[in-house]
Amino acid sequence: EMSWTQVHISGLPADTNDTPDDEIEQALSLRYTLENEAYTWAGAGTTIVKRGASKYCFLVFFTTEGADLAVSHINNNDGNGGKALLETTSVSHYTLPVGMRLCAAISQPKKQKKSKKQDDPGSNHSQLRMRRMRAAPSRKHPIEKRKNCVGSSGEVNGRKY
């Protein structure tokens, strides 16, 4: 079973709306040397970029230790109050601007909502049934009397019919 850890990177510039994800990923990889084996980065094609009101992305790492090391490197890269000051990094057509501050943290996954459990599983079934309740059959295989085997008393092999 392969486990992985996501790192949340916030503070991406506003001009990333038209920038392909792979270019942003390459710029981050080059700037923070994510290809270094110590980080255990999952590699190209694993970064998730979100472009809402606040621009952010998730980097994927195979180990928690590698993710912690990357968070420390991104946050303390310039020793400027825990924020990294990016130099201009040019990849294809996209350039990370000078002075851009990024903040990294281990992603805390959202807790899944617990489904409501019914106290009595049979309590609600009366509302689900659309047909009328039928009586149980008298017997699965009814016994037929054989007139030629029955004696005058109505018994066959000790049974009375």
Q: What does the H/E/C string look like for the chain?
A: CCCCEEEEEECCCHHHCCCCHHHHHHHHHHHHCCCCHHHCECCCCCCEEEECCCEEEEEEECCHHHHHHHHHHHHCCCCECCEEEECCEEECCEEECCCEEEEEEECCCCCCCCCCCCCCCCCCHHHHCCCCCCCCCCCCCCCCCCCCCCCCCCEECCEEC
Residue 56 has φ and ψ, to the nearest 5°, of -155, 170
pLDDT tens across 21-73, in order? 888 888 888 888 888 888 889 988 898 888 888 888 999 999 999 999 999 98
Q: Is the pLDDT of residue 91 over 80?
A: no
Residue at 159 is within a domain: no
Report the CATH number at residue 67. Answer: 3.30.70.330
Residue at 156 is within a domain: no
Locate 152 and state its tokens. Answer: 């005058």
Quote the pLDDT of residue 127.
61
Q: Is the pLDDT of residue 9 over 60?
A: yes
The pTM assigned to this predicted structure is: 0.57
Number of structural domains the chain divides into: 1
- pLDDT band at residue 102, thresholds of 50, 70 and 90? confident
Quote the pLDDT of residue 81.
41
Task: Give 78 or 99, the one with higher predicted confidence.
Answer: 99
The percent of residues in the chain predicted with pLDDT above 70, rounded, is 65
Cα Rg of the chain, angstroms = 35
Residue at 61 is within a domain: yes
Residue at 113 is within a domain: no
What is the domain range of residue 34?
Answer: 5-106
Residue 116 has φ and ψ, to the nearest 5°, of -75, 125
- pLDDT band at residue 85, thresholds of 50, 70 and 90? very low
Task: Give 84 or 51, the one with higher predicted confidence.
Answer: 51
Best-predicted range by mean pLDDT among 97-101, 105-109, 113-117?
A: 105-109
